[in-house]
Structure 1
Amino acid sequence: MKCPSITKLCLSTFCALPFLGFAQKRPHIILIFTDQQNVNAMSAAGNPFLCTPNMDALANDGIRFTNVYCTSPVSGPSRASIVTGLMAREAGVEWNDNSKLGEGIQTVGDLLGENGYRTVWAGKWHIPEIYPQRSKDSVKYLHGFELLPFWDAPNKHWLLGAETDPPLTDAVVSFLDSYDKREKPLFLAVSYHNPHDICMYPRKVGWETMSDSLLNLRPFGKYKLPEPMGIHPDSLSYLPPLPGNFTINVDESEFVIDKRTKPNSYGDEVQLSSLFSKREWQGYLNSYYRLTELVDKEVGKVVEALKRNGMYENSLIIFTSDHGDGMAAHEWAAKLSFYEESVKVPLIMVLPEKLQRGAVNSNLVSLADLVPTFCDYAKVRVKTNFAGMSLRRAIFPTEERWRDLIVTELADHLKDRTRKGRMIRTGRYKYTIYSSGERNEQLFDLMTDPGETTNLAYSKDYRKILEKHRNLLGEWMKERNDNFKIVTYEK
């Protein structure tokens, strides 16, 4: 499968580029994001097993970041960071439950709306209502955002992006076609559901071999899934290969093993997929890629509407996702892990000046950087102690160095809320620590072992590096008032 090639310009952390300042007018700011898209689930990233021409076109017009981490590998918490610029814990949303943003927490909708922008949210929200217009019909504004109505289908399945994404696009395109861009600059968030439909794959394919009472879940087979989601992999002649790090690590942390083996409806895809054959895992990947291609088509329609209405040239456009997907690496499905596949996401930034077209940037970036970036380009000064920084500093280096590390948090169980973890990524290494279980520390050399197959945390040769990362995490936690306990357990 061939996709249009894109020009690549590699930028190192310290590559100096001229600072050309703001566009003459405050730009429109367009945030387009998917749900559960892995950083490599894009043909612009060199993946030959899917074709995403519209995402690729954005990458060709902007900067593609390759080391972007969510603040928490689960939808609600990550989205809380996307709209606040804080860690999910700081925003008051650590789990996908009924948690709402903490009292007094301002979103980018509040911040920009108070400073002359029209702020509109379209699509999935999930903090905590997945689709507020469905669950609260009287709600027209939410945390500083005007909600864009896009669907009226009470008898349809709202948890399938195959059904919700196309009407969402139609509503967004209609809105853009009628928007009077002379009145106010626009902040528009377009939040898609796919490729999140991949969560239905383990629940469907693995259902016949699972006990209904084991996880207290219901089968999803009655919902029509997009082809080839509804096709068993044995009936397909071609399937993508399994990743090189497909096999489960022999020294995997007990905390992670428990997630695979103990009943827990929070992230049930992990348990359901544990019985997959290799062929079923290939089918999982195939379906994941096809679902990503489905949402790519929707992204293209929105970008075309921006161009048709003369908004593209004076817009800051950011494309990303809330978290990644296991993509069969370590035999892991979905999210809720610190493995690279689950915590890394795509991020493309198309500047209003359309500078650095086709650039590739390897700086360590957090999704908490989005709100500071939006405020920077909107010329809005705030006093919030953001967990992130404006990405302008990453692409136009100044005397202030860009960060040297990134932190991600994890809370993976609704009923046992003591189960938590922390991850710190530096230039070369990744260190993770969990709140319980044997082998609760992991250290990976991502330069020599990008697939995270060898845990160095218990090697005497890496003792100093391990202690350095423990200390770096401890310092970061102190700065952010994080009370997670760094307690080590023997192997």
Structure 2
Amino acid sequence: MRQSFHNLYTGQRDIGAGGGEYYDSASTHAALSFLSTYDNHNPFYLQVGYVNPHDICEYLHNHEQKTIPDSVVQQTVGESALPPLPENFEYDVGETLLQQVCRRHGGALIHDKIRRAVQRWSDLQWRFYIWNYYRYVEKVDYEIGLLLNALAQTDLAENTLIIFSSDHGEACASHQMFQKFTLYQESIRVPFIVASLGDCFGLQKSSFDHRHFISGVDLLPTICDYAEAKIPQGVQGHSLRPILKGQKADWRTFAFIESNYWGRAIVTDQYKYVMEYLPADDFVPLGPDPTRLGREQLFDLVTDPFETTNLSKELPYQSELKLCRKLLWTQEEKLNRHPLTHHRSQETISSWRNTLRQAWVQANLATK
């Protein structure tokens, strides 16, 4: 990044995944300085990467090595102030084995120390975790407010396009999960807002688009389009400019998601399909490969938006299941699969593969 852009943040070390309490304020001040002093007539691209609400991860890591007193018992916060548990606090016991091995089994591949800690949590502790997450959201909301207020005071406000998004969601106790690393909606969905304080972009103000599937791959072509820069060849996303102006666009009819190397999902207007691949011996990401199909989940997001009822084994839904499989495999045929070459990546996948294979042996024995 430092070689690709001119950086306003000049700290002694790069901003990490934690420390939003300090770094977000520093980022805001750097951006405010830029906006208040920019006197060049050339267009600019300013990207501000806030840490929060990512510091919820640090809150969780605090539970790895120590027992933190119950805040309700200690009267730090009243029970009435805590958000309720989500409607989908319970989870599908038939979810993919990959999800269970990565996040639920003893010796979980991802954040096992946190998993062990939250296993002992009471409902109030789960609710306090959600309460903390909302506080981190409020912190970054304050920083963004400072940024927008500063922009409004400049001559740049009328012709500046503002794009707000995030890299992932947060489980927030849904499916008894924390952080990301899942294919459930709470982890894969992110906010996406495009706005302007002026009227020169022809944006549909105060409107919410429920019809189009937006993906992270659309960011680059959208920015290039508005910057009148050439969109690089091989980019899979599309510019959102026609949609933002309320025009018709030839657009995708589903969203495609990958997680934890072997996990895949498809989201259509009505259904959510989740699947896993059985590990192979090489280091080329799998897909499409029907011969290595593992467990599946199918949810009707219209009647079951919280993904509580797995329909994949229900006879009336087999046609929808097959259609979702076809959509996923058709999409995967378009992807360029490159083998992992770095030794650390290979070591991680080798270790995960061995653990998963052992879990599959045990699962097959249990079903006999």
TM range (shorter): 0.7 to 0.9
Over 3 Å counting, the alpha-carbon distance change for 1:267 and 1:367 in structure 2 is farther
Q: Taking structure 1 as reference, are residues 278 and 320 closer, same or farther at Cα in structure 2, changes over 3 Å only?
A: same
CA-to-aligned-CA distance 1:272-294 (integer Å, 9 cap, x gap): 43332211110001000001000
| Residues in 1 aligned to 2:158 and 2:43: alpha-carbon distance in whole angstroms | 13
TM-score between both structures, scaled by the size of structure 2? 0.79
Q: What do residues 113-148 of structure 1 show as CA deviations (whole Å, max 9, x unaligned)? A: xxxxxxxxxxxx7xxxxxxxxxxxxxxx42x31122
- Deviating beyond 6 angstroms after TM superposition, the runs of 4 or more aligned structure 1 residues are 488-491
Q: State the alpha-carbon separation in 2 of the partners of residues 341 and 324 from structure 1.
A: 6
SS of equivalent residue, structure 2 residue 48 = strand
Aligned to 1:263: 107
Tell me, which stretches of 5 or more residues in structure 2 are unaligned? 280-292, 340-359
Question: Contact (CA 8 Å) 1:393, 1:402: kept in 2 or not?
Answer: no
User: Would you say the 8 A contact 2:70–2:125 is kept in 1?
Assistant: no
Kindly indicate whether the alpha-carbon contact (under 8 Å) linking 2:296 and 2:312 is maintained by their aligned counterparts in 1: yes
Letter in 1 for 2:6: E
Distance 1:479 1:399 in 2: 24
* Aligned mates of 2:57, 2:9 — CA distance in 1: 25
Aligned ranges for residues 144-163 of structure 1 at < 5 Å? 144-152=4-12, 159-163=18-22
State the Cα distance separating 1:436 from its structure 2 match: 3.7
Greater RCO (CA < 8 Å, at least 6 residues apart)? 1
Q: Tell me the CA shift for residue 160 of structure 1.
A: 1.4
Counting only pairs closer than 5 Å after superposition, residues 76-475 of structure 1 correspond to structure 2 as: 141-142=2-3, 144-152=4-12, 159-182=18-41, 184-205=42-63, 207-208=65-66, 232-234=71-73, 235=75, 236-237=77-78, 238-258=81-101, 259-264=103-108, 266-268=110-112, 269-351=114-196, 352-353=200-201, 355-362=203-210, 363-396=212-245, 400-411=249-260, 419-436=261-278, 440-475=295-330
What is the alpha-carbon distance in structure 1 between the residues aligned to residue 323 and residue 17 of structure 2?
A: 46
Q: Are the counterparts in 2 of residues 314 and 353 from structure 1 also a CA contact under 8 Å?
A: yes
The separation in 2 between residues aligned to 1:383 and 1:345, in whole angstroms, is 25
430-439 vs 442-451, greater mean Cα deviation? 430-439
Q: Is the 8 A contact 1:247 1:329 kept in 2?
A: yes
Superposed CA RMSD in Å reads 2.9
Distance in 1 separating the partners of 2:209 and 2:149: 25
Q: Which amino acid aligns with 2:207?
A: A
Structure 1 residue identity aligned to 2:319: K
Q: Partners of 2:249 and 2:60 in 1: how far apart?
A: 46
2 CA distance for matches of 1:367 and 1:322? 8
Using the TM superposition, give the Cα deviation of residue 186 of structure 1 relative to its aligned residue in structure 2, in angstroms: 0.5
Q: Look up the equivalent residue of 1:359 and give its one-letter code.
A: S
Which residue matches 2:344?
Answer: none
Measured at CA, do residues 368 and 475 of structure 1 come closer, stay the same or move farther in structure 2, by a change above 3 Å? same
Q: What fraction of aligned residue pairs are identical, expressed as a percent?
A: 35
CA distance in 1, matches of 2:262, 2:320: 23
246 and 478 in structure 1: CA distance in 2 versus 1, 3 angstrom threshold: same
Are residues 267 and 408 of structure 1, via their aligned partners in 2, closer, same or farther at CA, if it must alter by over 3 Å?
Answer: farther
Measured in 1, the distance between the counterparts of 2:236 and 2:120 equals: 39
Q: Please, what TM-score do these two structures have when normalized by structure 1?
A: 0.60
- Aligned to 1:349, the other structure's residue is in SS state strand
Task: Work out the CA distance in 1 between the residues paired with 2:13 and 2:319.
Answer: 58
Paired residue secondary structure (1:318): strand
- Secondary structure in 1 aligned to 2:6? strand
8 Å contact kept, 1:239–1:286 = yes
Contact 1:372 1:390 in 2 (8 A): yes
Alpha-carbon shift at residue 315 of structure 1 (Å): 0.9
- Are the counterparts in 2 of residues 206 and 273 from structure 1 also a CA contact under 8 Å? no
Q: Which amino acid aligns with 1:250?
A: V
Checking the alignment, whether the CA contact within 8 Å between 1:443 and 1:457 is kept in structure 2 is yes
Give the deviation of 1:255 after TM superposition. Answer: 1.8
Structure 2 Cα separation of the partners of residues 300 and 391 of structure 1: 25
Q: Is the 8 A contact 1:176 1:306 kept in 2?
A: yes
Unaligned runs of 5+ residues in structure 1 are 1-124, 126-140, 210-220, 222-229, 412-418
Given that 2:204 and 2:246 are in contact with CA atoms closer than 8 Å, whether structure 1 keeps it comes out as: no
Change (3 A) 1:366 1:157: closer
- Shift in Å at residue 420 of structure 1? 1.6
Amino acid at match of 2:34: F
Partner secondary structure for residue 250 of structure 2: coil
What is the rounded CA distance, in whole Å, between the counterparts of 1:324 and 1:455 in structure 2?
22
Q: Could you say what secondary structure the match of 1:159 adopts?
A: coil
Aligned to 2:356: none
Mean CA deviation greater in 308-317 or 397-406: 397-406
SS at match of 1:317: strand
